[in-house]
A and B are shown apart, each in its own frame.
Chain A
């Protein structure tokens, strides 16, 4: 396919450019057309100028389209700027400037159509302009408004292009243009075939442009490249409306039309002999209307039968704008292949979205996996620890204006703040309520409402921003379909880091060993010299501290409000319960399942996140029925039953 394109380029490049160094003589040969240009006549002149290859031509064409060309009495063309009655003139070839009174000169005023032609002619100069930014501008202008005339200049400019990125772009654009405008159908088909592997929005737009159709209706099937013949019975009323629009059938009366017609024909308090009181029955209304129609007072009622007869007498068709059958067929195949590629890419994009949602759930739940999962303490204030972490990040940003720096400070600080809060809470409240889990739930809920309200009193009810540094602001764009913001990648990486960290602490450190010992058998652990009170305090602090860091991450991605914690608390508990209590891997599995499930439901029912959440919760409730211990169920004595 590439070779076909190169052949095309070579073919067009083969016309040699005439060599001439001065522009004025060329202009003089077409003096009449240039002085009084019209859209028809100017083409030849433009062709000669552009083909001459004279470097001054660019400047001349630019000035011409800006209406800055003046003609002297003797017919010579000069670039001129008027200042009162004095003209500052520049020679088109030598660039020498001089002043002269205005009276001997006549200004050239090309109309809009001519200026557009000049613009097109200019593009080919701009495409080979030494200045990269002007070349890029020219390419961008072609991409905005592709025209047939731009194809050849674009192809000619590709070989000489020095910037590799721009060269690729030029080849792509040339391919779009040849798919749309190339003279030889074989060239177009070759170009269209190349498009079938391109999932960009532009390429799809090109294919859709080739496949653009006009819908119409006629007595018989018209000649031409027919895209589709519709069966009007699929949506009779819609097609009948099209028929009425075309003036091929009388409009169908609605219930409101009938009512209006009846009201118009009230004679002595009766309609067609029926009393008004009977008119609360739609059947009576129709009968009365029929009587009126029979008397010629109103147009006849279009019944469904009449409508269907009218529909069956006509052909409803879609006609391609493109007359060539082969080209539309190839374009259709190409579009089909592009669509399936786009669908594949969308699945990949959805997977990325789901992964990122899963990592957010995981981050929110991982602290809970420790306090609830490992220790068995239910902490309804966990969401408020997330909120505290996010507000810590916000406060740090108030004092440290550098966003990167403030983030580096905020992460450990948030950990410290919520670690402290967790330890205090454990010492004051939770310690007194071990083995009374329902009461722990209630007491921590009391703390949760108090903390939420305190945050509201300090920071107000409006959302506070937690701005991410610039290097986190962009998005990683894979192609037009697959892209993911850097924040989400960062959250994903953070989630992975936490997973590693927690696993490491629990499995490889002294603290982790003691935590596991206390969890499994507190009495035995304490007789081995472990202080269960200290371990419980540390574990709870650790879980809370991680919630604080998660808060900073979530705050970067969502807004910081005093209620943000309660948005995550139910989901977090579900994540832990679904995954399996007492196991960090289980939490990962739970977060993955909920994240993917929610995105999957959202995909089935787009633009309705509420519904996705609703159905996901229902799914989780049902899931618990079948695996009450979660995905990764604990076995043996540690399971606690």
Chain B
């Protein structure tokens, strides 16, 4: 069975081989391995990029394969980050608070510890009480479950409402965008209990692993991200390959006809929407400990649109296209906006890439949509077709 799947989809094997090769090379070059060819901060960027690739793959499945242009998947990504961030922040603050209370004459009561943690975490929004949504923040297991369950549940409820009333096409896109906007506005409020626009910070410090250096931790997170990407890629490749995949693609191409054939289209769409949201949550949970900070601006509608941009540039309807798009565009973005790209002197005007990169990206995107609807992935098609001809 597995062999049949691999032989049918040689690109999966190629991708996994490439990914493992990349992981091994990066690991050897990392500071933790002693060679220090790649700095820890760049290792983190690479690890984050792998997480972005994972969420892009999920986006590709929901959009490229199922035809639902969701402008809300980055919100699920952010929710995953918040879910793990709550535990990270709680547990680390607890360690600090307990350490500082140890100098007291009397041992602290549980209430005193909770109050001290509360005022540490929520002091910035003028509060010291734990809001209800932090009820499980003491438990890593429960928060890890929340990474998957909360985005999944949100996607399930939203998708059920939307698909049930046959909202499709651009209407669905606008509705998902509205959902994202509502969510980010909700997170921006101080009384939501997620520290308003301060967000959660200090997430790069992993409780219980204080002894490990950031170099080691980054490498571990890089491995975890690579593993997650491989697993997610395999899962989606398998999902989109068989009969199920055919139905999904058929829904994309002509929803009404699939319905007439007797398939319950809504269930298929809802399943895809929910599963991809869960994977996006996992990607977020791996991304934000590497980024170190999360705030509501991360889940603003624009982020989800960028996600669509990556997938479109990489080439939708093929999983490796999404990976290429996310990796190329996000790495180029950080290269251009980081100020390391050389300025172009036109004589009358100096083009500073920090200012003009977004213009270039926007116009590239228009050009890709107009002239290369298959994106970068389309180049592979041409190559392989050429190969067949010769």
Contact = CB atoms under 8 A, between A and B. Distances in A.
A438 interface: yes
A493 interface: no
Contact of B308 (A442, A448, A566): A442
B15 interface: no
A621 interface: yes
A533 B170 CA distance: 23
B165 A280 contact: no
| Residue of A451, A457, A610, A611 ringed by the most chain B CB atoms within 10 A | A610
Contact of A450 (B182, B191, B359): B359
A429 B366 contact: yes
A378 to B, nearest CB: 5
Contacts of B171: 577, 624, 628
Contacts of B112: 255
Contact of A276 (B107, B178, B358, B364): B107
Contacts of B108: 280
Contacts of A457: 355-356, 359
B105 A266 contact: yes
A425 to B, nearest CB: 10
A287 to B, nearest CB: 13
Given A441-B170, A570-B301, A280 B110 contact: yes
Q: How many B residues touch the partner, as a band?
A: 35 or more
A378 B185 contact: no
Given A438-B69, A570-B301, A611-B189, A433 B369 contact: yes
A453 B170 contact: no
Contact of A622 (B161, B186, B191): B161
Contact of A613 (B162, B173, B185, B364): B185
A614 B186 contact: yes
Contacts of B305: 445
Interface string B286-326: 00000000000000011001001100100000000000000
A378 B369 CA distance: 15
Contact of A608 (B170, B189, B366): B189
| Most chain A beta carbons < 10 A, residue from B166, B175, B301 | B175
Contacts of B169: 437-438
B185 A276 contact: no
B103 interface: no
A234 to B, nearest CB: 22
Interface in B172-194: 173-175, 177-179, 181-182, 185-186, 188-189, 191
B359 A280 contact: no
Contact of A442 (B161, B309, B359): B309
Given A577-B174, A617-B181, A429 B370 contact: yes
Given A621-B161, A624-B165, A566 B105 contact: no
A194 B183 CA distance: 51
A442 B373 CA distance: 11
Contacts of B105: 263, 266, 276
A523 interface: no
Contacts of A570: 174, 177-178, 181, 301
Nearest to A456: B355
B370 A443 contact: yes
A625 interface: yes
Nearest to A285: B109
A620 B170 contact: no
Given A280-B110, A611-B189, A625-B165, A432 B178 contact: no
Contacts of B162: 624-625
Interface string A473-514: 000000000000000000000000000000000000000000
B365 interface: yes
A105 interface: no
A511 B177 CA distance: 34
Q: How large is the interface on A (under 10, 10 to 19, 20 to 34, 35 or more residues)?
A: 35 or more
Interface in B233-254: none
B33 interface: no
B161 A438 contact: no
A450 B358 contact: yes
Contacts of A159: none
A574 B181 CA distance: 12
A439 B373 contact: yes
Contacts of B167: 624, 628
Nearest to A288: B106
A577 to B, nearest CB: 6
B179 A448 contact: no
Interface in B96-130: 105-112
B111 A453 contact: no
A626 B167 CA distance: 11
Contacts of A266: 105
Contacts of A456: 355
Contacts of B370: 429, 432-433, 443
Contacts of A19: none
A592 B32 CA distance: 61
Interface string A603-638: 000001011011001101110111010000000000
B117 to A, nearest CB: 15
A282 B69 contact: no
A10 interface: no
A456 B352 CA distance: 13
Given A442-B308, A610-B185, A621-B158, 20 more contacts: A263-B105, A280-B106, A280-B108, A437-B170, A442-B369, A446-B309, A446-B363, A446-B366, A450-B358, A450-B361, A453-B355, A453-B358, A453-B359, A454-B359, A577-B175, A608-B191, A611-B186, A613-B185, A614-B186, A617-B178
Q: Which 8 A-B pairs have the closest CB atoms?
A: A450-B362, A446-B365, A617-B182, A453-B358, A280-B107, A449-B362, A279-B106, A446-B366
Interface of B: 69, 105-112, 158, 161-162, 164-167, 169-171, 173-175, 177-179, 181-182, 185-186, 188-189, 191, 301-302, 305, 308-309, 312, 355-356, 358-359, 361-366, 369-370, 373
30 contacts: A277-B107, A280-B107, A281-B109, A282-B109, A441-B170, A441-B173, A442-B312, A442-B365, A442-B369, A443-B365, A443-B366, A446-B309, A446-B365, A446-B366, A449-B358, A449-B365, A450-B358, A453-B362, A570-B177, A577-B171, A608-B189, A613-B181, A613-B182, A617-B178, A617-B179, A617-B182, A621-B175, A624-B165, A625-B162, A628-B167
